[in-house]
């Protein structure tokens, strides 16, 4: 049995506050297992494909636009037979590309609104 749960958070830079808050909340859950939290790269870091493929929990936070590498992270997770939990931010103006991505994911999963 693993003693560390791996969490991957996919989120574009416009949701940096939300993803950091989520990371802090998860780290404070009183469990006997530890957490390893990996997130979408923000500032030129490399995409961690291994973390995506091995994540015990993968959360996708989506805001106003689809930005790299969110789509790639989704495809890599699905290729690894993982289904990220998708959260859709409310009360934001979305681009046409964002609306298209939302419809695309609706064919594969349900959005949870926040």
pTM of the model: 0.93
Domains held by the chain: number: 1
Q: The domain that contains 84 carries what CATH number? A: 3.40.50.10140
Q: Which domain holds residue 19?
A: 4-113
Q: Is the pLDDT of residue 1 over 70?
A: no
- Do 47 and 77 meet the contact criterion of CB atoms below 8 Å apart? no
State whether residue 47 is helix, strand or coil: coil
Q: How far apart are CA 114 and CA 106, in angstroms?
A: 16
Q: How far apart are CA 94 and CA 24, in angstroms?
A: 27
The pLDDT of residue 44 is 83
More confident residue, 4 or 1: 4
62 pLDDT tier (thresholds 50, 70, 90): very high
The pLDDT of residue 25 is 93
The pLDDT of residue 34 is 87
Q: Is the pLDDT of residue 2 over 90?
A: no
In the sheet that 85-88 helps form, which strands lie side by side, from edge to edge? 34-39, 4-11, 57-62, 85-88, 111-113
Q: Is the pLDDT of residue 43 over 90?
A: no
């Amino acid at each position: 049995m693993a003693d560390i749960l791996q969490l991957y958070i996919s989120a574009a830079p416009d949701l940096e506050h939300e993803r950091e808050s989520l990371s802090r909340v998860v780290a404070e859950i009183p469990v006997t297992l530890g957490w390893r939290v990996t997130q979408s790269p923000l500032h030129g870091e490399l995409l961690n494909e291994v973390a995506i493929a091995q994540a015990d929990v993968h959360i996708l936070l989506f805001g106003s636009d689809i930005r790299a590498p969110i789509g790639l992270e989704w495809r890599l997770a699905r290729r690894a037979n993982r289904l990220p939990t998708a959260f859709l931010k409310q009360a934001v103006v979305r681009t046409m590309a964002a609306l298209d991505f939302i419809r695309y994911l609706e064919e594969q999963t349900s959005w949870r609104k926040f």
